[in-house]
């Protein structure tokens, strides 16, 4: 499906790394030079002044990661940034985003970049950049974030801005919570979900007086559904509830699950924080069709019951948003992944929704989706 208003709003060339949190920490030579591997997967909210706020993940990588027979990774270490060296004969670097360490009984990886978050203010329609707030950047501040902070999602609940993010370290791959009084100044609260439970999306409003969230635990083993089941075993979007937004209890009922009728959503995870519509909670999420190393990422939608979000009102197997080679043509020289769109934010734009996505793990994309699109889909499914 195509949309009349659909464009890239932030690309790697828009980022000024002289104002990066890493500036001044790495070696002052060619070995310490960095570049923007991606400016993507942004959280999205509307500020009190009416403008939109993108919280953009900046993946900053070494230009020359391999030297002296080693591959190097950036790591935060007690307020400074350092380089770790791994012998080349111990690594597999087929994926440009990570390298695998050979040996041992587990899948162990290190990242080719370190991510921090840049607040980017946009016009109310999301189509022009107003300011890049480098002074408000969100950077690692604890050992549990030593490999970076990734994929923020912003929700506004009862006037308070809440941001979940994935914090990466050898200690754990966890979900962390930040809060803000204004959407620009962010305070680290704590870990809220433990190892490999990510893509946490807090509903933009309470249900029955409690906070609700979608989560997506990962693992190496999944149990099979019975033969003939409408569901496919694998990663799914689960639910959790909280009385204070900090301590979370898993919900006993399943959330959104992969459907056996299609392989396009064989793997899935949360996309945008669910927003309340007259018909229920609108949830945009990603489905991944297996293909080569990374797969094909597309955006889908589901409508959840307003009083019991574990109840699915309706969904659609047709993708809402797909990767756009036309949009990325001007930055073709920077492409390292294809067939990936990763939707991460949504706000009300009147007769349409303004939707933010990461495109190709490289840039930020803004799409205006008419509300009539969802109404038309509803009619076609009744």
Q: What is the pLDDT of residues 107-163, one digit of tens each?
A: 899 998 999 999 999 999 999 999 999 999 999 999 999 999 999 999 999 999 999
Query: Alpha-carbon distance 332 to 328, whole Å?
Result: 6
Burial call 164-173: b when 16+ CB within 10 Å, e when fewer: bbbbbbeeeb
What integer pLDDT is reported at residue 376 of this predicted model? Answer: 46
Tokens of 80: 């400074």
What integer pLDDT is reported at residue 323 of this predicted model?
98
Let me know if 118 is exposed, middle or buried by CB neighbors in 10 A (0-12, 13-18, 19+): buried
pLDDT at 382: 34
Taking only the tens place, the pLDDT of each residue in 42-90 is 999 999 999 999 999 999 999 989 889 999 999 999 999 999 999 999 9
Per-residue pLDDT for the chain (382 aa), expressed as one digit of tens each? 899 999 999 999 999 999 999 999 988 776 789 999 999 999 999 999 999 999 999 999 999 898 899 999 999 999 999 999 999 999 987 787 888 998 777 889 999 899 999 999 999 999 999 999 999 999 999 999 999 999 999 999 999 999 999 999 999 999 999 999 999 999 999 999 999 998 999 999 999 999 999 999 988 899 999 999 999 999 999 999 999 999 999 999 999 999 998 899 989 999 999 999 999 999 999 999 999 889 999 999 999 999 999 999 988 889 999 999 999 999 999 999 999 999 999 999 999 999 999 999 999 999 999 999 887 444 333 3
Evaluate whether 196 touches 219 at the Cβ level (below 8 Å): yes
Give 47's strand partners: none
The DSSP string of 64-105 is --EETTEEEEEEEETTEEEEEEEEGGGEE--STTEEEEPSSS
CB distance 314 to 287 below 8 Å: no
pLDDT given for residue 219 in this prediction: 84
| Cα 234 to Cα 290: distance, rounded to the nearest angstrom | 12
Instruction: Tell me the two tokens of residue 378.
Output: 């509803």
How far apart CA 73 and CA 274 sit, in angstroms, is 35
pLDDT for position 94: 77
Residue 155 phi/psi, 5° resolution? Answer: -125, 150
202, 258 Cβ separation under 8 angstroms: no
Q: Where are the beta strands (DSSP E) in 186-333?
A: 187-193, 197-202, 211-217, 238-242, 248-250, 267-270, 275-277, 280-289, 296-304, 312-315
The pLDDT of residue 107 is 86
């Amino acid at each position: 499906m195509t949309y009349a208003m659909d464009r890239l709003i932030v690309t790697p060339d828009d980022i000024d790394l002289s104002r990066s949190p890493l500036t001044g920490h790495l070696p002052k030579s060619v070995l310490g030079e960095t570049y923007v591997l991606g400016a993507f997967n942004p959280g999205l909210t509307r500020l009190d002044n009416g403008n939109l706020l993108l919280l953009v993940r900046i993946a900053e990588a070494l230009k020359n990661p391999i030297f002296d027979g080693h591959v190097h990774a950036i790591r935060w270490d007690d307020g400074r940034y350092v380089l770790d060296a791994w012998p080349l004969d111990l690594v597999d670097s087929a994926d440009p985003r990570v390298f695998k360490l050979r040996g041992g009984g587990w899948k162990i990886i290190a990242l080719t970049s370190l991510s921090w978050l840049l607040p980017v203010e946009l016009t109310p329609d999301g189509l022009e950049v107003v300011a890049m707030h480098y002074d408000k950047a969100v950077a690692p501040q604890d050992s549990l974030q030593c490999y970076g902070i990734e994929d923020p999602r912003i929700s506004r609940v009862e006037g308070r801005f809440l941001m979940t993010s994935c914090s990466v370290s050898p200690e754990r791959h966890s979900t962390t919570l930040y809060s803000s009084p204004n959407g620009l100044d962010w305070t680290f609260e704590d870990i809220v979900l433990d190892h490999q439970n990510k893509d946490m999306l807090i509903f933009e409003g309470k249900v029955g007086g409690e906070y609700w969230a979608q989560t997506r635990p990962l693992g190496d083993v999944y149990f099979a559904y019975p033969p003939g089941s409408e569901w496919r075993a694998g990663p799914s979007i689960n639910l959790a509830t909280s009385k204070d937004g900090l301590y979370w209890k898993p919900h006993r009922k399943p959330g959104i699950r992969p459907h056996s009728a299609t392989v396009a959503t064989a793997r899935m995870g949360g996309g945008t924080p669910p927003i309340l519509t007259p018909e229920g909670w609108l949830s945009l999420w990603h489905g991944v069709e297996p293909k080569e190393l990374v797969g094909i990422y597309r955006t889908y939608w589901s409508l959840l019951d307003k009083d019991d979000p574990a109840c699915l009102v309706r969904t659609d197997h047709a993708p809402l948003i797909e990767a756009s080679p036309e949009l990325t043509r001007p930055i073709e020289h920077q492409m390292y992944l294809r067939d990936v769109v990763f939707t991460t934010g949504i706000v009300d734009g009147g007769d349409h929704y303004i939707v933010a996505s990461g495109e190709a793990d490289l840039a930020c994309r803004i799409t205006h989706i008419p509300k009539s699109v969802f109404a038309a889909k509803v009619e076609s499914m009744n």
